[in-house]
Chain A
């Protein structure tokens, strides 16, 4: 490891901007971005499944609040949602005296809350669309087998809807990765935050931002290929038969 660092240091000796230290900033930024995106996507996904089922419920008092939640979170900029939560929590009466303040004081948790709520709204709509598109025949077959509503949901509708939602969900994951750049606005040192720091320190906008753009591009392609692989595996039965 020691040898590797000195070797890398020598390699970068002629470079005034991309020193080992600034590359370290980018590395930490990458870790923060990945954490933030991954956590918000996982929590958002968990929230979105029941919400998507509720979104198509027959009862209006179930359906309407979920519709409104999706409409508001999909219709307003993520930046506004982030500001609302980040600046807003401070003004909740008495919050600074509770244990919650310890975690809410740092910008990471408010950002995570904003991102999670945002992605949950989009994912709910995606799943809702996929559930609605379930073939009638599949539902009729399940009914004919005497399945209850929940058993049918669990065994027939959800698995097939998940597969159908996969391409759209892949787009949402990429969208979330790109949206996470906003975290740098509330002083989080994510990838974009690292680039802004390097820019401010060396006044080198091209180097700082083009480098980070390349990292984002690589991440985007990685996600793209992952989802293409998943689609090939999970949607194999929907491919037209090759003769």
Chain B
């Protein structure tokens, strides 16, 4: 059996942090992606511009740089805002940036841009006749979105979504650099303390592979579900 020098439970805790971080960021990224996709497809000039600016800049800059900007800059920026509030309006608040929350917000913000592109392509792939049919039934905008556009869009979005998720999962490893105790961070600490980097790094790699394989299976099932009604055509 592999000797973990008592680091086993901590490594598991770290794995849990990784999974929680990834899932919460995914939720945020999907919500942001839907908003961005709508903004980019909107007829409103300003919304379109802001959406485009967001997706191009975020996708043009390395994740690590954005993460450092938000991590190191975030607290200073918030302090400046609260200072200003204090001097101007005598409102005294102190916001301490929680590392985990900052990680979720940063990764969510980064992948919101990628999701936005995925969703935009998928929304455009939905036949406009379907939407017209929905309107003809007297459905309002929200109902058309919920019953017609979203379920049909998902069929086109799932391959891209699954791709983004895989990249997101691997990106969570970067939070170890800025001080969050995810499994990579714990593995590096353990490697340095025990001088056995291979043991810990290979275990971490195996856990990532396991999560990736499980999610691949999950996405295949999801794809099957959203493909209902289209499979017979082939």
Contact = CB atoms under 8 A, between A and B. Distances in A.
A96 B173 CA distance: 29
B125 interface: no
Interface string A199-220: 1000001100110110011001
Given A84-B201, A84-B205, A209 B72 contact: yes
What is the interface residue range for chain A against chain B? 35 or more
Interface stretch (A12-20, A73-81, A98-106, A231-239): A73-81
What is the interface residue range for chain B against chain A? 35 or more
B26 interface: no
Given A77-B208, A83-B201, A84-B197, A217 B60 contact: yes
A213 B66 contact: yes
Given A83-B191, A178-B62, A209-B73, A75 B209 contact: yes
Contacts of A91: 195-198
A62 interface: no
B177 A185 contact: yes
A91 B148 CA distance: 58
Nearest to A87: B197
Given A75-B212, A77-B173, A178-B62, A210 B69 contact: yes
B68 A216 contact: no
A241 B65 CA distance: 43
B76 interface: yes
B60 A220 contact: yes
A217 B201 contact: no
Interface string B172-196: 1110110000001001100110011
Contact of A80 (B60, B73, B192, B201): B201
Contacts of A213: 57, 61, 65-66, 69
A205 B208 contact: no
B63 interface: yes
Contacts of B65: 181, 192, 195, 209, 212-213, 216
Given A80-B173, A91-B198, A185-B64, 4 more contacts: A84-B205, A178-B62, A192-B68, A206-B73
